Amino acid sequence: MSGQNTRTWRRFVGMDVHRETIAICVLDEGGVECRVKRTIASRRQALREWLAAYMDPAVPTRFALEALSPARWVVAELRAAGFDVVLVHPFGVRLIVQSKKKSDRVDARALADLLRLGRLPAAYIATPEEQALRALVRHRESLRAEMTSKKNRIHAILHCNDEHFEGSDVFGKRGRAWLAARAFPEDERFVVDQLLAGIDALERQIAEADERIAARVEDDPFVALLRTIPGVGPAIAPALRAEAGDVRRFERPEQFAAYTGLVPATWESGGSRTGGGITKKGNHVLRWALVYAALHVCRWSAEWKTRYTKLRRRIKKHKARVAMARRLAVAIWHMAKTGEVFRYRERPPKEPKKPKKPKAA
């Protein structure tokens, strides 16, 4: 639901945005379609010309678009022109997906009609600052994924040649010297050298991205709060901030947990209720960051470690990790609402092992 009074609006515009075209439908208060140009090129100038020709800023008008990547610049243009925009979650527009008649114009008409009736599930529109941070965070993660791929290819070459490094990191200083001394076939040596050069270049790019991210979140109070969670460092905290947005917009912690996609799916009918896996109807980067952070919390917090251990006795490892990530999402919601730091009881240090007594002869 849009959550706003639709009676104050006189025009309702549905837009089905694609890379090359935008299908448009304009309805009045009674649901009658207005006579306007219904398909335009998906370009800024074409949209500006259409707005100038058919949209009067003095007439209260709302626009509805699906929350897909091509719609980002369209939302910015509409807002700059002074119009109200509702960004719609694609999973919420079941009517479009289930319609027997499928076309861009039909989709646009369905969006406009649902908007007029106040039945569209509005999605969160990130601020320009959040969008900029999100772009940096996702770029950094793509660089890390690319570097991991290159390292895996080198490991595969080592495995094919029955080469085994005895140290902890084959890409460290000692590991690099060991790799340089291996007698690979000529072409495989060429591949390994190029992959190592690519890894070096990616490490420099990641360091540059880290500096830029750190500068952007330097004065962000919520990032400072997130850094009080054990294991949430300069990479995970900005990722949580960028992907979650303003957590305070959720009225209850359960809503934020559902937004992350970490809650189990349920089906209820005729008095029977069936549960399934997690919905995954959320930001996959946010889910990854929460699971990663929750594992670190379990290493440092005695309470969280005990809870995780109990869960592992009853359910599988991946389900226990998801449960702890969902618990962390709830804790983050409370931190955002209250402004309090993350509180936990540290695990006591491990006692040193006693030396074994020598066996009697």
DSSP per-residue letters across 39-89: EEESSHHHHHHHHHHH--TTS-EEEEEESSTTHHHHHHHHHHTT-EEEEE-
CA distance 293 to 279: 20
Say yes or no to pLDDT of 198 above 90.
yes
Residue with tokens 């359960």: 254
Mean pLDDT value of segment 86-115: 75
Among candidates 208, 251, 194, which has minimal Cα distance to 179? 194
Which pLDDT value is given to residue 3?
42
Residue 68 scores a pLDDT above 60: yes
- The rounded Cα 254 to chain-centroid distance in angstroms is 18
User: Given phi > 0 = left and psi -120 to 50 = alpha, else beta, which region is 79?
Assistant: alpha
Mapping DSSP onto H, E and C, the string for 39-50 reads EEECCHHHHHHH
Query: 349 versus 225: which is more confidently predicted?
Result: 225
Report percent pLDDT > 90 for the chain.
Answer: 68
| Tokens linked to 22 | 């935008």
Residue 91 has pLDDT above 80, yes or no: no
pLDDT, greater one: 347 or 236: 236
